[in-house]
Amino acid sequence: MSDKPADRTYPLNKIYFYLTEGCNLRCRHCWIAPKYQSEGNSYPALDLDLFKSIIGQAKPLGLTGVKLTGGEPLLHPQLNDILEYIQTEDLSMTLETNAVLCKPEVAERMAACKDPFVSVSLDGADSGSHEWVRGVEGCFEAALKGIRNLVKVGLRPQVIMTVMRHNKRQMEPVVRLAKSVGAASVKFNIVQPTARGEKLHNSGEALTIEELVDLGRWVETTLSDSTPLPLYFSHPMAFRPLGKMFGENGDGCGVCGISGILGVLASGSYALCGIGETVPDLIFGHGATNSLKHVWNNTPVLLEIREGLPRRLEGICGDCLMNEICLGSCIAQNYYGSRSIWAPFWFCQEAYNRGLFPETRTPPKRANAG
């Protein structure tokens, strides 16, 4: 734990609300692995009054926006009330969804929020590819209908595709499909070795580090040049051209801003993020019994992260010239794999071990190290 005083405060910019423990799809790669929820069963969702209470406690700490995710956030039985409250409190709103339940009235409620940003998962350009990944028949057409409902109310969502061996040939068709339905951009996610994603890595369904490095280069050059849609590949910043981040047409750094966010699970527990669903030691109390101000300002892990990044990062992340803005890429993922918040990000360390880490992003003394 830091030796700095416990009353030092940091702005709490954004809360990630994991609204539901259930999901209406069975995605092969999910890093949280929620329980499958169908019409015949249901699982706990975040209490509405507790949601409001947490918002009320967070605003004096600097809260300006929320992200709604899950499970599947559109499964929440009081979603309209949640969206209305976000609008009333003048908070920006980000929402991650599979869009299967995105009816016109839900889309309208999202559009009424301040600075709404919606991302929709689409893992193939046809039903066979998408539904192989998502595990439920009929979810492809439902997702497309949900996207069209968003577009009709002026919300052009970002399409997110998680790339694996089964669907990697669908990347370009997904870009074309996203443009045709009115999406604003496409992001390609990498399968993280967490929860269900860990099984894909063990089975060989996740792509190798060599394939991922090549794919990232292809997306940011060849594929990007073939479409007016902005494209993003979720490899760490060390692998991104500077012009893609800081140039005239740069799109920023894309880091999560870990020093200014907190997760709230569907149970009402405070957590580093959704990783608390699978790593209980990254849960920091409960919204109904613990003061948010106390949790935010005094939780040892949160203080260590704020005051230790990036200087305490280990492995290649400790030496990377991008670490002051990358901050280890994903602390939650690093902790999941090693039980150390300072461990290097798996992608970067594996790339370095295989001689694939960009030499221009490390000090000369490490560039040619064995």
pLDDT for residue 356 is more than 70: yes
For residue 168 the two structure tokens come to 């990697």
Sheet with strand 261-264: strands edge to edge: 231-233, 185-190, 158-163, 114-121, 92-97, 65-69, 14-18, 261-264, 269-271, 283-286
pLDDT for residue 368 is more than 90: no
Q: How far apart are CA 284 and CA 286, in angstroms?
A: 7
265 — alpha (psi -120 to 50), left (phi > 0) or beta?
beta
Q: Mention every residue, 6+ apart, whose C-beta is less than 8 A from residue 61.
A: 9, 11, 12, 292, 293, 296
Percent of the chain with pLDDT over 70: 92
Q: Kindly report the CA angle at 315 between 345 and 263, in degrees rounded to 5?
A: 35
For residue 194 the two structure tokens come to 């967490």
The pLDDT, as a whole number, for residue 367 is 46
- C-alpha closest to that of 323 among 313, 336, 335: 313
Q: Mention every residue, 6+ apart, whose C-beta is less than 8 A from residue 290.
A: 270, 284
The pLDDT, as a whole number, for residue 247 is 52
**What pLDDT band is residue 10 in, cutting at 50, 70 and 90?**
confident
pLDDT for residue 65 is more than 70: yes
Q: How far apart are CA 367 and CA 30, in angstroms?
A: 35
Handedness of CA 250, 322, 328, 216 (dihedral sign): positive
- C-alpha closest to that of 283 among 303, 302, 296, 269: 269
Please check whether residue 128 is in contact with residue 166, taking contact to mean a CB–CB distance below 8 angstroms. Answer: no
CATH label, 14-258, candidates 3.40.47.10, 3.20.20.70, 3.30.565.10, 3.40.640.10: 3.20.20.70
Taking only the tens place, the pLDDT of each residue in 77-112 is 999 999 999 999 999 999 999 999 999 999 999 999
Could you give the C-alpha distances from 13 to 4, 93, 132, 291, in angstroms and in order? 21, 12, 37, 17
The pLDDT, as a whole number, for residue 363 is 84
pLDDT for residue 262 is more than 60: yes
Taking only the tens place, the pLDDT of each residue in 157-173 is 999 999 999 999 999 99
pLDDT for residue 263 is more than 80: yes
pLDDT for residue 322 is more than 70: yes
pLDDT for residue 113 is more than 60: yes
pTM of the entire predicted model: 0.93
pLDDT for residue 33 is more than 60: yes
The pLDDT, as a whole number, for residue 245 is 63
**Mean pLDDT, residues 187-194:** 97
Please check whether residue 147 is in contact with residue 120, taking contact to mean a CB–CB distance below 8 angstroms. Answer: yes
pLDDT for residue 251 is more than 60: no
Report the mean per-residue pLDDT for the chain. Answer: 93
pLDDT for residue 226 is more than 80: yes
Could you give the C-alpha distances from 309 to 5, 258, 302, 341, in angstroms and in order? 18, 10, 11, 10
The pLDDT, as a whole number, for residue 365 is 61
Could you give the C-alpha distances from 268 to 19, 34, 218, 265, 291, in angstroms and in order? 9, 16, 42, 5, 12
The pLDDT, as a whole number, for residue 61 is 97
* Residue bearing the bigger pLDDT, 251 or 187: 187
Q: Domain locations in the chain?
A: 14-258
Q: How far apart are CA 322 and CA 362, in angstroms?
A: 8
Handedness of CA 176, 177, 183, 189 (dihedral sign): negative
The pLDDT, as a whole number, for residue 6 is 46
Which long-range contacts link 317-321 to residues 24+ away (Cβ below 8 Å)?
Answer: 317/344, 317/345, 317/348, 317/349, 318/344, 319/362, 319/363, 319/366, 320/238, 320/348, 320/361, 320/362, 321/238, 321/360, 321/361, 321/362, 321/363
**Mean pLDDT, residues 58-77:** 97
**Mean pLDDT, residues 54-73:** 97
The pLDDT, as a whole number, for residue 244 is 66
